[in-house]
Homo-oligomer: A and B are copies of this chain.
Amino acid sequence: MEGEPTRVMIGVNESTIKGYPHASISSKGAFEWTLHKIVRSNTSGFKLLFLHVQVPDEDGPHLLEYFVNRCHEIGVQCEAWIKKGDPKEVICHEVKRVRPDLLVMGSRGLGPFQRVFVGTVSEFCAKHAECPVITIKRSADEAPQDPVDD
């Protein structure tokens, strides 16, 4: 039942918390969930594809380094790349181009009231991406002071 590894695309972004130039809480959550619940000890069975859609002033290469380093430590194959544009559209476009087996997205897990004003990339992708999608909600105890931050 082996053969080609399962290719899991993970959409990652930077934290919105001021002065915290790291991966967002929900991106890290989606990544760690994928390692612990899906990849587990079968490191050769998976390849992780990190896509970062850069918004102005963001430090994309530094962000991706974090995920790539973690993969190297664990021994999971990976690729990472940066695109510019509207995150939800770019992610769906990249799914079409790259054809992963699965797309994993982190989400802040906002309630319906907050979602109206914020809009969620993960919701759009779950609906429109042409591959199976898992959305990993941020756990309540990881939410920052302002839950709209991430």
Contact = CB atoms under 8 A, between A and B. Distances in A.
Nearest to A45: B40
A1 B41 contact: yes
Interface string A36-70: 11111110010000000000000000000000000
Nearest to A133: B134
Q: How many copies does the complex hold?
A: 2
Contacts of A137: 132
A142 interface: no
A93 to B, nearest CB: 19
A109 to B, nearest CB: 11
A57 B6 CA distance: 39
Contacts of A134: 102, 132-134
